[in-house]
Every structure is written in structure tokens, then in C-alpha cells.
Amino acid sequence: MKDQLSQSISHVAVIGSGIMGSGIAQSIVQSGYNVTLFDTYQSNLEKSFEQIKANIHKWCDRNGNSEEAVSIVRRLKKAFSIEEVSKAELVIEAITEKLEPKQQLFLQLEKLVDRNTILATNTSGISISKIAEPCLYKDRVVGTHFFNPVHKIPLVEIVGGEETAAHTIETVIGFTRSISKEPVTVKDVPGFIVNRIITPMLNEAMLTYEKGIASKEDIDIAMKKAMGHPMGPLELSDYIGLDTLLYFMEHVYKETGNEAYKPGDLLRNMVENGDVGVKSGKGFYMYEKARSI
Ligand code: NAD
């Protein structure tokens, strides 16, 4: 259900059609919005679009309204140039977890969109104020941190930077509720709430494996059985993307000096070799469906 503020939004653009961008775009289009999806890699965009379409058909079939799928898919557009996102009232960035490309993108977006358009980032933990730094209008820059897999996890962390306007935060809170997700607000600190707490555990699991203390399977079994987690930490790391985890950890370690986020050699080597988890077909485990990145 849209509230008064989020009623100002009917068209959302999602930039980056990787794991998160695809999931975010799907959840939003299924909630009745028009969505434009853009990625600099056309093959990623095409694959993502086909995957979202298939997921929507499955979702509609499961809910017993197969006819609805066609009209939902019609609201989803592929953009082949970034200029095509200019009409969106909300843009959600879900590109690589690196500060500079995100800053460059926000600068580019600022020139394209309307003054009232909200610019949101799905960063896992880079400072919202830093991403907004080169922008002229920092009041409309905000963090909307979705979780993987987006269609299953009903949480979005809403993060205001130093200059984010209260109106921007209220609007994205309303928007989040309108797509059936629970918003929580958090200060602009490295890792926000969830990643701040969970990443040291994932890192320790990788180091435990690297040091030969236990096999990867036993590490995952132990944490699933003892803690009731649905996935083991190494499986979860593969699922998140080892590159995304590495960039995030490097960033938080640099910002805070907290050794709990210091990546081990194994993680670095795996990322260097392109073994980044589910999306590349190989991480701690092997996966059938490889997706080029
Ligand atoms: P990903 O590697 O799966 O996808 C990133 C996509 O962005 C790729 O398709 C790439 O081609 C595209 N891209 C890169 N630079 C671009 C640009 N300048 N313009 C347009 N497209 C560009 O990454 P992901 O896992 O989807 O992560 C995206 C963001 O979401 C990151 O900031 C990450 O930290 C965050 N995040 C990830 C997870 C997770 O579990 N993977 C969870 C929450 C948040």
C-alpha cells in the first residue's frame, strides 16, 4: 500500500542488473510500479531480464493468476543507455561495491533526473555521505539496503547520510512498506546493522577453512546445526558473491582498522582467480548455473 509520500513515485529505475539489482527490480515491478533496469554490460542486462520474466511467471502461476504475468512484465523495461532512466522518481543503484564508480554514477544521474528524484544506493556498507559527496543536491541521496535473496528477505535498512533530508527518508520508508518490506533506520556507519554483525562471522569461517581447522562442509554443517542458520557461512559467502564481500571487508577494515573485517589470503586469491561464488559457477563450492560478470 502506498502512503501519501510514496505516492509521488510511480516509476523506479534500478541501475546494475546483478544479483541484487535483478531481485530489487523484480520485487518492485511485482508491487505495481513501472521499472527501468540498466546495466553497462548488455549481456548481464539480457540475462537478468529473462530471469526476472521467468520468476514473475512462476510467481503468478503459484498465486493462481497466470494471466497477470504478462501485464507485470510489460511494466519492466530494459534500458540500453543510462539516459533512459531520466523519468524515474526513484533511482536505486546496485552496481559494484566500490566508492568511485558509485560516486561517478551519482554525478551522472544528478545531471539526468528531475530535482525531486530520490537517488538511493544499495551499498552494503559504504558511507552514504561519501557516495553523496560530489553531488550538488545531497538531501535526496539515501541508502536503501536490500538483502539477498530480495524476494525472500523482507528487510530494507534505510540509511540517511549527513545531509539526507527527513522527507527523503520518510518517502523511502513509505516506498519500502509499499513493496511489502520492513524498513529499519540506521546511522551511516560501516556495515549498517546486519553486515556489521554478520561479516566478522563469515570472515572467521573463511579463515577457519584457510587455516585447515575443519573442512568447508563441516564448518557449514556446524553453523547450521548449532545456530539454526538456514545456510552455512561458506555457502552464504558464495551466495553473496566473494568479490562483493571482499570489497566490503576491505572498505570497512580501511575505515575502522577492526581486524575482524581483515580479509584472508584465500579470499583475495579466489577473487583474483574469478572464483567469486554462485554467479561465476565456482566459489567454496561448485555451481551449475554460471553467470558472466
Ligand atoms: P553483482 O556483481 O552481482 O552485480 C553488479 C552489476 O552492476 C553487474 O551486472 C555489473 O555489470 C553492473 N555494473 C557495474 N558498474 C556499473 C555501472 N557503472 N553502471 C551500470 N551497471 C554497472 O553485484 P551485487 O551482488 O548485485 O551487488 C550490487 C550492490 O548491492 C553492491 O553495492 C553490493 O554491496 C550490494 N549488496 C549486495 C548483496 C549481496 O548479497 N550480493 C546484498 C546486499 C547489498
The CA-based angle 202-181-139, given to 5 degrees, is 90
Ligand 1 in reach of 22 Cβ (< 6 A): no
The per-residue pLDDT for range 115-129, each reduced to its tens digit, is 999 999 999 889 999
Q: What is the pLDDT of residue 120?
A: 98
Atom of ligand 1 nearest to the CA of 121: 32
Cβ atoms of 69 and 60 closer than 8 Å = yes
Q: How confident is the model at residue 3 (pLDDT cuts 50, 70, 90)?
A: low
Ligand 1 in reach of 48 Cβ (< 6 A): no
Considering the chain, what is the average pLDDT of its residues?
94
- Point out the catalytic residue in the list 34, 157, 178, 251: 157
The least confident of 1-5, 144-148, 259-263 is 1-5
Q: What is the DSSP string of the chain?
A: ---TTGGG--EEEEE--SHHHHHHHHHHHHTT-EEEEE-SSHHHHHHHHHHHHHHHHHHHHHTT-TTHHHHHHHTEEEESSGGGGTT-SEEEE---S-HHHHHHHHHHHHHHS-TT-EEEE--SSS-HHHHHTT-S-GGGEEEEEE-SSTTT--EEEEEE-TT--HHHHHHHHHHHHHTT-EEEEE-S-TTTTHHHHHHHHHHHHHHHHHTTSS-HHHHHHHHHHHH--SS-HHHHHHHH-HHHHHHHHHHHHHHH--GGGPPPHHHHHHHHTT--BGGGTBSSSB-S-----
Q: How far is the CA of 114 from the centre of ligand 1 (A)?
A: 24
Is the pLDDT score of 94 beyond 90?
yes
Is the pLDDT score of 5 beyond 80?
no
Q: What is the pTM of this model?
A: 0.90
Q: How confident is the model at residue 24 (pLDDT cuts 50, 70, 90)?
A: very high
The per-residue pLDDT for range 194-246, each reduced to its tens digit, is 999 999 999 999 999 999 999 999 999 999 999 999 999 999 999 999 999 99
Is the pLDDT score of 291 beyond 70?
no
Catalytic annotation present for 124? yes
d(CA 86, CA 110): 9
Catalytic annotation present for 229? no
Phi, psi of 57 (to 5 degrees): -60, -45
Q: What is the pLDDT of residue 289?
A: 62
The per-residue pLDDT for range 142-166, each reduced to its tens digit, is 999 999 999 999 999 999 999 999 9
Ligand 1 in reach of 13 Cβ (< 6 A): no
Give the residue carrying C-alpha cell 545456530: 227
72: Cβ–Cβ under 8 A, 6 or more apart, which residues? Answer: 29, 30, 56, 60
Pocket test residue of 14, 19, 98, 119 for ligand 1, highest count of atoms within 8 A of CB: 19
Q: What is the pLDDT of residue 292?
A: 40
Catalytic annotation present for 157? yes
Cα→Cα distances 17→38, 39, 49, 88, 293, Å: 7, 6, 8, 17, 10
For 167-188, what is the mean pLDDT?
98
For the chain, the maximum distance between any two Cα atoms, rounded to a whole number of angstroms, is 56
d(CA 41, CA 245): 21
Q: What is the pLDDT of residue 177?
A: 98
Percent of the chain whose predicted confidence (pLDDT) is above 90: 89
For 100-106, what is the mean pLDDT?
98
287: Cβ–Cβ under 8 A, 6 or more apart, which residues? Answer: 238, 277, 278, 281
Q: What is the pLDDT of residue 293?
A: 36
Q: What is the pLDDT of residue 54?
A: 96
For 95-114, what is the mean pLDDT?
96
